[in-house]
Amino acid sequence: MIHQVTSSLDTFKSIRLKPGLNLIVAEKSKGATERQTRNGSGKTSLVRIIDFLLGSKCDGDSIFRSQSLADEQFTLSFDLGGHRTSATRTGNEKNRIVVDGVYDDWPIEPKLHKESGEYRISKTNWCSVLGSLMFDLPVDIESYGPTFRAMISYFVRRESSGAFQEAQKQSSQQQNWDVQTNLSYLFGLDWEIPHALQQVRLKEKSLATLRKEAKGGALGALIGNIGELRTRLAVAEKEANRLKSELEGFQVLPEYHELEKEASALAIRISELTSENTLDLERVESLTSQLEVERSTDDSLLESVYREVGIVLPELVTKRLDDVRKFHAAIIQNRRIHLQSEIDDAKASIDRRDAEKEQLDDRRLEIMTTLNSHGALDQFSKLQEELSRQQATVEELKKKVALARQLDSETTELTIERAKIKQRLTTDLDEKADTLNDSIVIFEEFSKLISDHEGSLVIEPKENGPEFAVNVEGKESKGIRSMQIFCFDMTLAVLWSKRNAGPGFLVHDSHLFDGMDSRQVARAIEIGASQSKQHGFQYIICINSDQLEAAEFANEFDPAPYRNSVEITDASETGGLFGMRIK
């Protein structure tokens, strides 16, 4: 239990507590809003102080880092491991706790500071000590396992963390794995089962990330298609083998390029000769046609011309027709000789060129045969580069195939692992049926006492791990959620008290009672009083005076004896818990 909360701040109102129910009442002045009362009275700050001294974070926006409180010490005196212990902490030295108590059973003992005579322990080690002595939690527990801070937050809920939204979650930011692991531990189940499932989730997340990155990178959409990858690999290996064989049989010819140039020049010369022959053949054909015309010419045309001349110019035509015929025949003969000579010259040129072409063709064939059986050095280098690229492609595809095979294999293994974990979970729930039934019955009894809406605690195995559900008949509302949280937290407090373990206290502030009607508020307080007395734990309620006054208590219940003597009010800046305005 918590004995008292004190501070080095002169104006701070020290609070002394007793076993069982403790009502810390904030007087609400007339006209003050609910928000003004909460902010001004500081009753919520009492919850913050308790949580702060139990190792909560102390970030830059924490009230304990404010100008007014950063250097002030806050001290919690409480029972720990069967011994009264005190813990002192300041905002400016947030990672150091000064402790006073019996350390024999502590898994990590504090260190003596010689100059001050104080026993000091780091915040991390302090949480390990609290987890060990309150919840029997191993100090060296692995990642994603239950933690003291996660579990104590069900016993000291903080509204600023969103702790009053769902019974199963002590923070709106709490992850599903954290809920499953810590609640499994708190309800006596095998926490290693949801822990193992979280390891599967992490592997699945890694695989999903790998697939996503692969699809956007070198592997492309083929990452999941191992069959197509194998096809591409087979084709690539075949091409690499072909290039390798070609390279092995490659013969380098030093004068390769000179022969290439000679072959090219020969081809050009052969083409020129062919073109010249074509022209001469056309010329021979033309000359032969002219020669045939000359041979067919007779005297009839001459006679006709002569008669016509004789008619037109009779006085000028004195020469005899025989003379003309002889002259004309001589001209034709000369013309025939000239044409035949030109034809013979053209044919001779063609024959000469054909002979040259034949020689050139033989030389070009010889060169091409040599070139086809050899290669240049640069060609050899290019072939080597091409082979290297192809071999690199083969290796890359092999990696892709291996990765795709690995992804498929691991996905299958994770599916099998999930099924095994589900079976382990089912078996664990069956074996722990008595323990679970105890929790379920306790919750249901509280639900019946506090409201007409019967509620039930359901713990069952699901594909995604153990599910902790709180079901209450009726329309979901803030009041119903508050009742669910009250019954849930009270169930945990009773369970751990029955085990003679746990923190030994449960703390609720007025946020829990928002939405509850006056009768339900009264029932919650009455249940807290009876259960804390029966099971020997402490129930601390921070509540507004108007909520307490409006509560419809049973005739036999009187809240006055449980009311703390410290007066907290929002009427003035000095009326709050700190006795001053926090800057």
The CB density around residue 424, as the number of other CB atoms within 10 Å, is: 16
Segment holding 496, helix H or strand E: helix 478-498
The pLDDT of residue 321: 56
Residue 467 has pLDDT above 50, yes or no: yes
Cα→Cα distances 137→82, 140, 151, 532, Å: 16, 9, 10, 24
Confidence of residue 38 (pLDDT cuts 50, 70, 90): very low
pLDDT in tens, 270-316: 888 899 889 888 888 888 888 787 665 555 555 565 566 555 545 55
Residue 359 has pLDDT above 50, yes or no: yes
Q: Taking residues 341-368, what's their average pLDDT?
A: 82
Confidence of residue 228 (pLDDT cuts 50, 70, 90): confident
Q: pTM here?
A: 0.73
Segment holding 413, helix H or strand E: helix 377-431
Both tokens of residue 57?
């974070």
Residue 123 has pLDDT above 50, yes or no: yes
Nearest to 244 by CA among 389, 370, 395, 377: 389
The pLDDT of residue 296: 57
Give 89's strand partners: 74
pLDDT in tens, 45-60: 999 999 999 999 999 8
pLDDT in tens, 146-186: 999 999 999 999 999 999 999 999 999 999 999 999 999 99
Q: Taking residues 335-364, what's their average pLDDT?
A: 83
* CATH architecture, domain defined by 2-189+432-569: 3-Layer(aba) Sandwich (3.40)
The pLDDT of residue 37: 43
Residue 496 has pLDDT above 50, yes or no: yes
The pLDDT of residue 240: 79
Mean pLDDT of the chain: 85
Q: What is the DSSP string of 184-231?
A: HHHTTS-THHHHHHHHHHHHHHHHHHHHHHHHHSSSGGGGG-HHHHHH
Helix, strand or coil, per DSSP, at residue 452: coil
Provide the percentage of residues in the chain whose pLDDT is more than 90. Answer: 55
Contact 567, 578 (CB under 8 A): no
37 or 559, higher pLDDT? 559
